[in-house]
Amino acid sequence: MPPQPTKRLIAVTHEFYPHRGGIAVYTAEMAAAAARAGWETEVWAPALTNGTIEPDWPFTVRRLSIDSSHGLMNQWRMARYLLAHRDQWQDAILYVSEPGPLLSMLLLQFFDILPPARLHITLHGSEILRLAMRPLTRWSARRLFARADRISVVSRYAERLLVDLFPNTANKVVLTPGALRADFVHMPPPVTKPAEERIIILTVARIHPRKGQLRVLEALKALPSPVRARLEYWLVGAHGKENYEPALRAAASDAGFPVKFLGDVPDEQLGALYAQADIFAMTSMPHKFSVEGFGLVYLEAGAHGLPVVAHSIGGVPEAVRDGETGLLVPPENPGALTAAFARLINDPDLRHRLGDAGRTRALSHTWDNAARTMFGQPDSPAPL
Q: DSSP letters along 43-81, please?
A: EEEEPPPTTPPPP--SSEEEEES--S---HHHHHHHHHH
Q: What are phi and psi of 232, to 5 degrees?
A: -140, 145
Measured distance CA(120)–CA(368) in Å, rounded: 17
* Same structural domain, 236 and 169: no
What pLDDT does residue 4 have?
A: 56
What are the start-end ranges of the H helices in the chain?
22-36, 72-84, 86-89, 99-109, 126-133, 135-147, 156-165, 213-221, 225-228, 245-252, 267-276, 296-303, 316-319, 334-345, 348-364, 367-375
At 1 the pLDDT is: 47
The answer to whether residue 215 is domain-embedded is yes
157 and 265 in a single domain? The answer is no
User: Running DSSP on this structure, what letter comes out for residue 189?
Assistant: P
For residue 115, what pLDDT is reported? 66
**18: preceding bond cis by omega (within 30 degrees):** yes
Beta strands in 154-224, from DSSP E residues, in sequence order: 173-175, 199-204
Number of structural domains the chain divides into: 2
Q: Compute the distance between CA of residue 318 and CA of residue 182 in angstroms, rounded to an integer.
A: 21
Q: Are residues 62 and 82 in the same domain?
A: yes
Residue-level pLDDT at 380: 58
- pTM score of the predicted model: 0.88
Give the pLDDT confidence score for residue 287 in this predicted structure: 75
Please report whether residue 307 resides in a domain: yes
24 shares its domain with 172: yes
Q: Are 262 and 185 in contact (CB under 8 A)?
A: no
User: What gap in Å lies between CA 271 and CA 304, rounded to an integer?
Assistant: 8
Q: For each of the chain's 384 residues, which pLDDT tens digit applies?
A: 455 567 999 999 999 998 878 889 999 999 999 999 999 999 999 999 888 899 999 999 999 999 888 888 888 999 999 989 988 888 899 999 999 999 998 888 777 677 666 899 999 988 999 999 999 999 999 999 999 999 999 999 999 999 999 999 999 999 999 899 887 776 665 566 676 789 999 999 999 998 999 999 999 999 999 999 999 999 999 887 668 999 999 999 999 999 999 999 988 889 999 999 999 999 999 877 778 889 999 999 999 999 999 999 999 999 999 999 999 999 999 999 999 999 999 999 999 999 999 999 999 989 999 999 999 978 655 444
Domain residues for the domain of 25 are 8-179+366-375
Q: So what's the pLDDT on residue 22?
A: 84
Both 238 and 154 in a single domain? no
Q: What is the Rg, in whole angstroms, of the alpha carbon atoms belonging to the chain?
A: 22
Sheet strands side by side (includes 279-282): 259-263, 231-236, 199-204, 279-282, 308-311, 326-329
- Asked if residue 272 and residue 165 are part of one domain, the reply reads no
CATH number (domain holding residue 212): 3.40.50.2000
Residue 190 in domain: no
What is residue 384's predicted lDDT score, i.e. its pLDDT? 46
Residue 1 located in a structural domain: no
| Beta carbons within 10 angstroms of residue 268's beta carbon | 9
- Sign of the alpha-carbon torsion through 232, 338, 270, 267: negative
In terms of DSSP bridges, do strands 173-175 and 150-153 run parallel, antiparallel, or are they unpaired? parallel
Residues 308 and 171 in one domain: no
Confirm if 119 and 125 have CB atoms less than 8 A apart: no
Residues 72, 210 within the same domain: no
Residue 384 maps to a domain: no
Report yes or no on 120 lying in a domain: yes
Query: How far is residue 136 from each of residues 131, 239, 263, 311, 364, measured CA to CA in Å?
Result: 9, 34, 40, 33, 41
* pLDDT the model gives residue 138: 94
Q: How many C-beta atoms surround the C-beta of residue 60 within 10 A?
A: 13
Please give the pLDDT value at position 190.
Answer: 58
